[in-house]
Every structure is written in structure tokens, then in C-alpha cells.
Amino acid sequence: MAMPAKTTKAVKPTKMTCEEFLSYDEVTRPQIVFLSAGLKGNGKAKDPVVDADRINTLVPGVIEDCRAEPKSSFWQKLKARL
């Protein structure tokens, strides 16, 4: 018998809480930061070029900030670090 496909919810970085961000695994968090760093406040792409090395330094800082305030906005924490 075939297993049903795993349901994934859409990631909306501008509306995500830190708690939601932290619920993702260690592989997915950098992907979320990478994709989010290329967005403007309205969720539209601003610059398709994002420095991967910069992402590697952003992720631990955003995780730290979000752990300190899990109910706060992931988007605001990321913007503060950018």
C-alpha cells in the first residue's frame, strides 16, 4: 500500500513567528533564511543574488535571537540582522 504524501505548509517569512521558525529542522532553517533574505517587506523578491557566506553567519544569530523571544516576529529578527 502506498503511503500518503507528506503535507507541507507554505512558509511565509513575513508572517512567521520565531517559534514557528525554530520548529523547523537544522537543514530547513538556513533555507528559510536564505529565501527570506532576498525578500522585501511585502514578501516580493528584491534581489535574486544572496551571499551564501552571509547566510551562514546570519542563521546562528537569528536562531539565538528567536530562542530569546520565541513569540516575536521571525521577519523582524532577520531584518535587524540584515
Q: Residue 63 maps to which CATH number?
A: 1.10.890.10
| Structural domain includes residue 26 | yes
Interatomic CA distance for residues 27 and 41, integer angstroms: 24
Three-state secondary-structure class, residue 48: coil
Percent of the chain clearing pLDDT 70 (strictly above) = 76
- Would you say residue 71 lies in a domain? yes
Name the DSSP class of 43. S
Question: What is the extent of the structural domain holding 54?
Answer: 18-81
Model-wide pTM > 0.85: no
Chain segment 25-57, per-residue pLDDT in tens? 999 999 999 888 877 655 666 665 667 788 889
